[in-house]
Structure 1
């Protein structure tokens, strides 16, 4: 038995193998799609994330069935926690749901593909470079896409600013309208406490070429995570003024804030 076959037999259960194979993806004869997605890599990743999702963060996901079973979808949430743990947990929640599971694509920061090996690995589990062109191609391909419009403003925020939404970019709204994509808001509670940062050393971040250099404990704390997905929102029309576009973005932010508050009210303890 080769190494790959051995790992597969140890990590991937027959049920998981069948589950992932049942989620149709337009992959080629070599097992990859044009953006590098690979079914086998997803199976390994899925099996490794499962205990993290269920045991370490004890994630509770409500409303994940709000995400449409097909067609273009933008899953829009609050970003937090220094590392993209929130995106991983949101993706697992959708991919593991019993009825009509989907493997979403995630828009990642430009920094990650510059790390040796990491860029290719992220591509193989469904992530793509987070720019409007890639997102547009995903939606045109009827994919579900995870986006965090706060970007690094959200993921790198300090602990004192936890659960305060930062400025949203408008790109996701333009794309939602153009591709008639459902916008499914999600409030993420718990990831702010996984790697709480008290400061950001900007000169060091600039010297290292990274988005931020947080002053934080070098561990990921096992905070309990709540994911609350809201009903899909649809936005029609074109050639809107900047003011009209702002109002639509604020509608989404308001719903995400509501879902964050819901998660905070549901939370009994941090860990």
Structure 2
């Protein structure tokens, strides 16, 4: 409180002080010594580990893939959502939900429009408040639906496509460098040897899958058949699809959406 008053009640300065402190930045790793000294972490012997809020889950995917639009303020955003949500009986009555196109679609989750009676599904899955009552503290749950959302929701798939394109274009000259690039974009650390090996094996399996007769990579790497995505130079559809599949895995990691 004294620090806040002495610096002109600047909340920005206070936030910077907190997040740059040694206590806030310490590791969340639990060791037998720390458990013995502070079993419930009441003395902050280690950093907390928790999944980020619903809006940040979406923002992390957008930022990792390079799609995030940093625009501040302005009208609400209407990202893609199932049409049946805004019709009876799912809704009290027909509601207008016109999907945003272009850069506005990639703005922060904070700006997503929400009907009180029809919360936005991707945010609701990650325990976003529904708006019926004041929310003093958000709850955090763990559900298979959350993994299915980050794996299959249209915007997350689009983020995987963008991350894959960026990886093959800028990630390096070989698979090892590109895997490190993709992993760092999402998790902000180097992959361990075992993690890199698992991802490398997965990439090989995906290449074999899309190289097989009858395998169609286009549904994974473009939104519609009428408007196929532009491929990075020298990259085949099957190769980009394999990297898109790998990007979906990395974006779906628990560590990607967890504050360590």
Give the alignment's TM-score, normalised by structure 2: 0.30
Give the alignment's TM-score, normalised by structure 1: 0.29
Q: Which has the higher contact order (CA 8 A, sep 6+)?
A: 1
Structure with the higher helix share, 1 or 2 = 2
